[in-house]
Amino acid sequence: MTIGNLKVGECGIIEEFSLDIIPLSLLEMGCLPGKEVKLLQIAPLNDPYYIKVNGSHLAIRKEMADQITITKLG
Amino acid sequence: MEVNAVVKIALVGNPNTGKTSLFNQLTGLKQKVGNYPGITVDKKVGKCKISEALIAEIIDLPGTYSINPTTLDESIVLDTLLNKSNESYPDLVIVVAEVENLKRNLLLFSQIKDLELPTLLVINMADQMARKGISFDLEKLKEELNSEIILVSARKNSGIDELKNEIRNFKKWNTKPMASISSKIDEEYFKVVKNTFPEFSLYKSWLLITQQNNCNFLSPEFQQKLSVLNADKEKIKKYQHKETIFRYQIINDILHKTYVINRNEATEFRFKLDKILTHKIFGYLIFASVLLLIFQSIFEWASIPMDLIDGFFANFSEYAKANLPEGIFTNLIAEGIIPGIGGIVIFIPQIAILFLFISVLEETGYMSRVVFLMDKIMRKFGMSGKSVIPLISGTACAIPAIMASRNIGSWKERLITILVIPFTTCSARLPVYAILIALIIPNKRILGIFNLQGLTLMGLYLLGFTAAILSAILLHNVLKIENKSLFVIEMPNYKLPSLKNVFYEVVEKTKAFIVGAGKIILALSIVLWFLASNGGESFKTANDTVKQDIGNQNLTKVELQKKTASFKLEHSYIGVMGKMIEPVIKPLGYDWKIGIALISSFAAREVFVGALATIYSVESEGEDVGTIKERMGAEVNSITGQKRFNLPTGMSLLMFYAFAMQCIGTLAIVKRETKSWKWPILQLVGMGILAYISALITFNFFS
Ligand SMILES: Nc1nc2c(ncn2[C@@H]2O[C@H](COP(=O)(O)OP(=O)(O)O)[C@@H](O)[C@H]2O)c(=O)[nH]1
């Protein structure tokens, strides 16, 4: 399961071993393992993804979202 | 009088924390924009009086989320804070944070604090705390962060005096690092680091190790030492990740003890607005309307002051001619300098309006939604959602537009954006379009509402955008560059724009354009005037030749003057040049006079109108000059007897100016941004060929 599989409004927890995949700059913006992500919105052509993680509102491309593994919540 | 001490202050912070607002509050209009040596990012420096004896020189550094740069702009922060020989190396650093995103803002603060420079934390947007349900224990936070903290509201102008008071004490600030990275990551390794560079703070050494490629100020021996320490790239990357996680742990702990936010308040509004603005139908409709509004106002609103300016300079030139003593200097002023300055001033309304819109859209947070909405579409053309802002800015001027492309992370996307920007209809093309359209397109309405001239102009804009998109697709398929991109944007909260920020932004951007482009245009106008009013042998004997030619024809004094003047122009240096290229441009429907204008607008297209004005005013020496448009409209093709600027020639010229790369400033900036001559030359040649062919086809189509 990755962020890319979430439906709008759903949440998940970023898994620890995503650490090597997530680029440093994304980590620095708060996208850390163990944190909850919520998918707020998907842009009209299914890309990019608009997420809220660790208090930050970020947009990332689907190719990135597809790489970040999560455990789905709820 | 007491001698004033000067302290250098660097202003650092995440984007959207209100750094610019704070800078404006502190420095007011006492700011100037310069360039960082070697690169062309705007460097904003302002002065601020801290106390009777202390003046602060404040440097506004580009907004960044981390001291580890991902873009060119961000690497300036690194260079300024690490490089002691950088002329902006600060005595103290102010990190600007804001109440709502304090956690993320503190990451940058923790990095800067670890450099062990005197560092102050300013928490901005204090006015938002109650509304957002935020409260914190300031004293406790100070203690935990080992740092003084000032709470301000840049918008409400509160806390600024406390800030200034605190700056006076900067020598007493605690410079202890915040996070001791070594023990949590790899004690052994960091011991070696410390021993290798005992003179630096540990974090500074670590940054030099991780960012060696971004630090070109280091000596070879130093580089050598670093290479030993960062040989294992995988390990370094891992440690950087660990470091970031560790920092967030510390910050989380601290905030847990000191900071309370009631998240449920006021997020509803943002959520609803996001839904509408990024909606799959409404989102695009709204964006299209915004664009339409921008273009509409550039044409409609700007045309009023532009006509006034045009008329004013025509009168001014006449007035100068009539009232100054006759002679070469008067001619230079009336025919060279005044029209030259007029050619610059006329751009101010359009540039100002465009930057007004861009700055408002950025301030409100809407631009990020546009990036979000457009990213996928732009990627089909090899660009990024972040290319949209540069492409829109390109409608004012390609130079700031190309600089605005710096925050595009992927090199391929950035390069394509840079290469196609010059196709967008910049304001330098507008006067050319405006005058040609006025001459060849009737001022009629079709279907009762659409103005034909307006539609033509609109068509030319669309043509520019289409050309940009098509060439982007072409480049996307041709360029073999690995597209390793990281695309992350923050979606900031919606805000009402601050009038002050918008005002400063417009003034600053307009000023930068006038000074930058103005120099070229003014210089060229003077050169042009010189070339048009001097010439070889036949120019010097013009008076006699003309007298002989007309023989015993009975001409009035005015007619004689006119004949002499036009003979002179034909044999002036520029006339000879125009004649020389006439065979090449004849198939496009141009004569040597248009040739002169083409040559002179090679370096800057806006010179076209000024050049024709100069040509015709040199020619109509002694006569009532009238406006440029009247003079051009009266011009007759001596062979066909038709108007010189008829439909085929006019349309052909429009096509030529739509596509040709006639702007030295842009070429220079492309060279600097791409660090190679290859790309500007490609633009020059490619766009030139396209311009020639389409003008040729157009001319024959309409003939
Ligand atoms: N409510 C409030 N808004 C502010 C304050 N300071 C800045 N802003 C707004 O925050 C936004 C970002 O400000 P700006 O100065 O452009 O931030 P920068 O990107 O860090 O330079 C703008 O819309 C400002 O008007 C403040 O103290 N209170």
- pLDDT (tens digit per residue) in B587-639: 999 988 889 888 888 777 877 877 776 666 656 544 454 566 777 777 777 77
pLDDT at B36: 45
Place of tokens 């002989």: B548
Give whichever of B334-338, B341-345, B469-473 has the largest mean pLDDT.
B469-473
Least CB–CB distance from B376: residue in A41, A47, A60: A47
CA-to-CA dists, residue B184 to B181, B214, B243, B245, B702, angstroms: 6, 26, 8, 10, 76
pLDDT at B40: 47
- B402 within domain boundaries: no
Q: For the domain that residue A29 is a member of, what is the CATH number? A: 2.30.30.90
Rounded distance from Cα B97 to ligand 1 centre (Å): 11
- B47 within domain boundaries: yes
Tell me which chain A residues have a C-beta less than 8 angstroms from the C-beta of B112. Answer: none
- B528 within domain boundaries: yes
Asked if residue B485 has pLDDT above 60, the reply is: yes
Least CB–CB distance from A47: residue in B103, B375, B491: B375
- B546 within domain boundaries: yes
Asked if residue B293 has pLDDT above 70, the reply is: yes
Instruction: Give the pLDDT confidence of B148-165 residue by residue, as tens digits.
Output: 999 999 989 999 999 999
If one compares A22 and B366, the residue with the highest pLDDT of the two is B366
Q: For the domain that residue B206 is a member of, what is the CATH number? A: 3.40.50.300
Instruction: Give the pLDDT confidence of A16-40 residue by residue, as tens digits.
Output: 877 778 888 899 999 999 999 999 9
Rounded distance from Cα B57 to ligand 1 centre (Å): 21
Tell me which chain A residues have a C-beta less than 8 angstroms from the C-beta of B371. Answer: 59
The domain total for chain A is 1
Asked if residue B663 has pLDDT above 80, the reply is: yes
Asked if residue B1 has pLDDT above 60, the reply is: no
The first and second tokens of residue B693, run together, are: 């062919």
Shortest CA distance to B252 belongs to which of A25, A61, A34?
A34
- Tabulate helix, strand, coil % of chain B (nearest 5): 65, 10, 25
C-beta of B154 in contact with ligand 1 (< 6 A): yes
Chain B nearest C-alpha distance from A73 (Å): 19
Q: Averaged over B365-369, what is the pLDDT?
A: 92
Which is it for the CA torsion B609, B610, B612, B616, positive or negative? positive
Q: Do A24 and B237 touch (CB under 8 A)?
A: yes
The domain total for chain B is 2
Q: So what's the ipTM on this one? A: 0.94
Atom 8 of ligand 1: nearest residue by CA position: B18
CA-to-CA dists, residue B97 to B11, B124, B248, angstroms: 11, 6, 15
For A23, the domain range is: 3-72
CA distance A69 to B36: 42
The first and second tokens of residue B416, run together, are: 């394509």
Chain A nearest C-alpha distance from B230 (Å): 17
C-beta of B155 in contact with ligand 1 (< 6 A): yes
Tell me which chain B residues have a C-beta less than 8 angstroms from the C-beta of A28. Answer: 65-66, 68, 107, 244
Q: Do A25 and B65 touch (CB under 8 A)?
A: yes
The contacts of residue A20 (CB under 8 Å, 6+ apart) are B238, B241
The fraction of chain B above a pLDDT of 90, given in percent, is: 35
- B379 within domain boundaries: no
Instruction: Give the pLDDT confidence of B371-429 residue by residue, as tens digits.
Output: 999 999 999 999 999 999 899 888 877 887 888 888 887 889 999 999 999 999 987 88
Chain A nearest C-alpha distance from B456 (Å): 32
Quick one: CA torsion of B79, B82, B87, B88, rounded to 10 degrees? 80
- B151 DSSP β-pair partners: B123
pLDDT at B622: 46
C-beta of B564 in contact with ligand 1 (< 6 A): no
Atom 13 of ligand 1: nearest residue by CA position: B18
CB atoms within 10 A of CB B96: 28
Query: Whole-number mean pLDDT of chain B?
Result: 85
Using the Cβ of A47 and the Cβ atoms of chain B, whether some distance falls under 8 Å is answered with yes
With the most atoms of ligand 1 within 8 angstroms of its CB, the residue from B14, B20, B21, B499 to mutate is B21
Give whichever of B30-44, B76-90, B544-558 has the largest mean pLDDT.
B76-90
For B644, the domain range is: 512-702
Using the Cβ of A54 and the Cβ atoms of chain B, whether some distance falls under 8 Å is answered with yes
C-beta of B17 in contact with ligand 1 (< 6 A): yes
Hey, is B58 helix, strand or coil? strand
Q: Averaged over B535-547, what is the pLDDT?
A: 82
The fraction of chain B above a pLDDT of 70, given in percent, is: 93
Using the Cβ of A11 and the Cβ atoms of chain B, whether some distance falls under 8 Å is answered with no
Using the Cβ of B487 and the Cβ atoms of chain A, whether some distance falls under 8 Å is answered with yes
CA distance B258 to B309: 59
Instruction: Give the pLDDT confidence of B163-181 residue by residue, as tens digits.
Output: 999 999 999 998 888 877 7
CB atoms within 10 A of CB B236: 17
Using the Cβ of B70 and the Cβ atoms of chain A, whether some distance falls under 8 Å is answered with yes
C-beta of B21 in contact with ligand 1 (< 6 A): yes
User: From edge to edge, which strands make up the β-sheet containing A56-60?
Assistant: A70-72, A11-14, A36-42, A49-53, A56-60, B488-490
Of B262, B293, B321, which marks where a domain is finished? B262
Asked if residue B37 has pLDDT above 70, the reply is: no
Tell me which chain A residues have a C-beta less than 8 angstroms from the C-beta of B493. Answer: 57
* Least trusted range by pLDDT, from A21-30, B227-236, B293-302, B399-408: B293-302
